[in-house]
Structure 1
Amino acid sequence: MLRNLPDADRSTVADVLVRHLVQDADLLPEDVVGALLVELIRLGPAGGGARWTGLWPVLEAYVSRAMGRAALEDKEFDVPVGHLRRYAALFPGPQERLQQMLREAGTSHIWAVMERGPGHVVLEEGRALLDATPAAERAPESVIGLLRLARELGQEDWLAEHAEPLLRSLEPAALLRLRAGDVDALRAVVRDARLLSTFRAIEEIWRGPDAPRPGRVDHDRPEESAP
């Protein structure tokens, strides 16, 4: 349908369809959602990544439902996986490609079928995409997302080598996008005093000022006065 429209109209209609899907996907029949997704993805990367990013929650939900109905060995399973791979190809820029990789890591089901390769290879690809993005345009969530992905992949050696330089590249306000669980995973590989001070502040935000910290023993806490 979209491919048959004049070039001048195709982009406008695609934008309308994306907004319609994002807002009303839950109200539409499943086959209509699937048909619209296929039409939009077939357009290719025209229109830039911003248009396609908003479509991800709809595609993820649709594909997850389709995967739930099909066994891994069924040919029917290849259809939603094909949707995912064609969608991933819509993002030409390095930061957009990294952010798509991180979106795929949002669920084990989708991460498994994307077959991105061994953990170290994935992380080096992600770091190369970061390096290819001008520092002024680099999104803090991309840096933090890559560090979280390294933790999920169990790549402690990669974290030990790269976590501190990546964290130092972030502005102080951006570091507050981290959570206490991130601090637990990163503290052992960070020596920078500024970063460690920020880690303590993040812990206090989530766990309060009296939360136990590594290396602190009970006698470090102030004694409570007797009643």
Structure 2
Amino acid sequence: MAGKATDDDLLFGRFFFVHEAQAVIADQRLRSYEFVHATFGEYLTARLLDHALLLLPTRFREGERLPDDAELYALLSFTPLTDRAQVVQNLADMLDTWPDEERAGLSGLLVQLFREVPWEATHRTDHPHAPTRQTRAYRDAVYSANLLLIGTLVAGEVRASDYLGTADPADRWRRHAMAWQSHMSTESWNLYTSMLRLERIRRSNHQPDLLVGTRAVPAASHELSWILGRQEGVLHVEGAGDEVSDVIRRVTFVGDRDAELLLNAVHPVLRSLPGSLRAYVVDEKRGVGSAARMLVALLTRDQDSSEALPELYQSCLNASAVLSPREGMLFTESLIRQLTHDAPVLSDTDLHSIVSRLAKLPHIAGSAPLRRALADCAQQILGRGGSELGAALDALRVGTDQVDEDEGADDRAVIVGLAEVGRSAHTWGWLRSLDEADPLGSLHQYLLDVGLPATAARRPSAVIGLLRLALELGRTDWLAAHTAELLVLLPDNAFRLLRPADLGPLREALPEGGYDYETEFTEIEERFRSKAGARPSRP
């Protein structure tokens, strides 16, 4: 039909036109039409299936333990029923009218036929119906998928263990599901998995099972105990970290789109922390989760996670303790950097518990990057809580009392970080490696060792912190000797890190005849003055 469809056209299109009869009576042409509603085909299909199911118990041949399912196989082995949702709905309505005894008998037959699908079908006669040419593997896969679907329509929900004939269905279910997926189109597989809903459960003997039905299943946080089996204790490590390469190989070998998307998301974690995939945290309440999952949940503040933030930290600390030294340091560094961010929302009690656990980790002082992360985290926590939290922080104070010979520059960078703008008396208490007789000269030397020009360019706040320390110590002699050489290294924007109280002593320290930085200093004063003099506008 050309052109834009009218409302009448759309109404007409809801029906299948079957036949038009015409006659001429008294010079008048008369027409009559026969119409069938668009869902009538689905109704007829469902009625045909209902009839075949109703006759199934009567089709036992002599010497066979299963009924002859030739008609049912012909009807159910070419297309998943879920491709036409109306067929499924119509069939469900028809099955609801069956007596309970007949429904129970049909459920048992469906289970037996499902289990027999992979084997030679001696109970089945030939049937001429073959709308398309398909392989035996395709037809068996579609047939078994449809049998399971009808089983759920009859019983409401079924256990996978009953259909699969095993007490531990996890692996056998995986093989059946992969067979179904491999023979269905992407759209058919999406429709099938959208209609059948799975709920992972455990039977009374703690064996895993699946409830399969069509009702909506509440979303639950993903955990691994159903796949791995029941785990005892708090921690479990399975295999070696290098097995991650095998996991990646198996996923990419199949080329499943959904699996590849998930692999792409976690690939950076697996490359850096391969052992975190095989280190599991076991919790009676929340099940089993990998160390990688715990870290990602912490870093992303997983809204679906049932764990509170302090509990997530404890789970991550449990996992960190069993990783290899190298991975443990990387894992803990990420955890500590997140703690720096989360510290303001954690209570003093929670912080004390987390910091106390951190201090006991065997690799807590294992690398300079980890020590830098500790120093930044400590700066966020110092001054909070009572003596207990202070003692925990003191136990955590590592890496600043001596410089590692192999990582000298990196360890000095810890000191540089602690010297940045805004550091406090608490912070200086951490700098035990500074020369008590001349802490200013010691810190200056650290900056020189690290590379003063590079530090001024990348961490100008450390240079400002050095100048401010000299101001607070009243070291006018040191300022006169070094102020000009330090200010000339600062980027233009770095001058805005200064405060008006810094400017008077710095002006006095600059040598006569040199660049006086008056333009930069005046801008700082005007910025503070304009802010201080601002008044809220009237509405």
TM-score, length-scaled by structure 1: 0.67
Q: What residue number does 1:9 align with?
A: 327
Pick aligned residue for 2:365 from 34, 37, 44: 44
The amino acid that maps onto 1:93 is: A
Change (3 A) 1:36 1:57: farther
1:175 touches 1:198 (CA, 8 Å); kept in 2?
A: yes
The amino acid that maps onto 1:83 is: L
Which structure dedicates a bigger proportion of its chain to helix?
A: 1
The amino acid that maps onto 1:64 is: G
Pick aligned residue for 1:88 from 392, 396, 400: 400
Q: What residue number does 1:195 align with?
A: 517
Alignment of 1:5-154 (within 5 A): 5-7=323-325, 9-25=327-343, 26=346, 29-39=350-360, 42-46=363-367, 48-49=368-369, 51-56=370-375, 58-60=377-379, 62=381, 64-65=383-384, 68-69=386-387, 80-84=393-397, 86-88=398-400, 92-93=408-409, 96-102=413-419, 106-112=423-429, 114=431, 116-118=434-436, 121-138=438-455, 139-154=459-474
For 1:8 and 1:97, the matched residues in 2 are separated by 20
Secondary structure of 1:29's aligned partner: helix
Change (3 A) 1:103 1:52: farther
For 1:96 and 1:206, the matched residues in 2 are separated by 31
Change (3 A) 1:197 1:40: farther
Deviation at 1:124, TM superposition (A): 1.1
For 1:152 and 1:107, the matched residues in 2 are separated by 11
Change (3 A) 1:69 1:97: closer
- Deviation track 1:157-176 (CA, whole Å, cap 9, x = no partner) reads 11111112211222333333
For 2:529 and 2:435, the matched residues in 1 are separated by 36
Deviation at 1:150, TM superposition (A): 0.7
Secondary structure of 2:517's aligned partner: helix
Q: What residue number does 2:111 align with?
A: none
- Deviation track 1:119-139 (CA, whole Å, cap 9, x = no partner) reads 6x1111122122223355213
- Deviation track 1:58-79 (CA, whole Å, cap 9, x = no partner) reads 434555346x437xxxxx9766
Secondary structure of 2:419's aligned partner: helix
TM-score, length-scaled by structure 2: 0.32
- Deviation track 1:101-135 (CA, whole Å, cap 9, x = no partner) reads 4169822244357564556x111112212222335
2:352 touches 2:392 (CA, 8 Å); kept in 1?
A: no
For 1:54 and 1:126, the matched residues in 2 are separated by 19
Change (3 A) 1:8 1:170: closer
Report which stretch shifted further, 95-104 or 5-14. Answer: 95-104
Higher relative contact order, chain-length normalized (CA < 8 Å, sep 6+)? 1
Deviation at 1:147, TM superposition (A): 0.1
Change (3 A) 1:167 1:40: farther
For 1:32 and 1:194, the matched residues in 2 are separated by 51
User: How many residues are aligned here?
Assistant: 199
Q: What residue number does 2:250 align with?
A: none
Secondary structure of 2:365's aligned partner: coil
Report which stretch shifted further, 165-174 or 144-153. Answer: 165-174
Secondary structure of 2:474's aligned partner: coil
Deviation at 1:93, TM superposition (A): 2.0
Bigger CA radius of gyration: 2
Deviation at 1:151, TM superposition (A): 0.9
Deviation at 1:98, TM superposition (A): 3.4
1:81 touches 1:114 (CA, 8 Å); kept in 2?
A: no
The amino acid that maps onto 2:409 is: G
For 1:83 and 1:8, the matched residues in 2 are separated by 19
2:467 touches 2:483 (CA, 8 Å); kept in 1?
A: yes
2:498 touches 2:524 (CA, 8 Å); kept in 1?
A: yes
Report which stretch shifted further, 157-166 or 23-32. Answer: 23-32
Secondary structure of 2:423's aligned partner: coil
- Deviation track 1:75-107 (CA, whole Å, cap 9, x = no partner) reads x976643432x1525884265143244169822
2:483 touches 2:509 (CA, 8 Å); kept in 1?
A: yes
For 1:167 and 1:62, the matched residues in 2 are separated by 31
1:147 touches 1:163 (CA, 8 Å); kept in 2?
A: yes
Deviation at 1:148, TM superposition (A): 0.5
**Unaligned ranges ≥5, structure 1:** 71-75, 212-227
Q: Once the two structures are aligned, what percentage of the paired residues are identical?
A: 23
Pick aligned residue for 1:160 from 475, 480, 483: 480
For 1:40 and 1:100, the matched residues in 2 are separated by 23
The amino acid that maps onto 1:185 is: P
- Deviation track 1:142-190 (CA, whole Å, cap 9, x = no partner) reads 2111000111112111111111221122233333332222212211111
The amino acid that maps onto 1:203 is: E
The amino acid that maps onto 1:37 is: L
Work out whether 1:207 is the aligned partner of 2:538.
no
Work out whether 1:175 is the aligned partner of 2:175.
no
Secondary structure of 1:132's aligned partner: helix
**Unaligned ranges ≥5, structure 2:** 1-317, 534-539
RMSD across aligned C-alpha pairs, in angstroms? Answer: 3.6
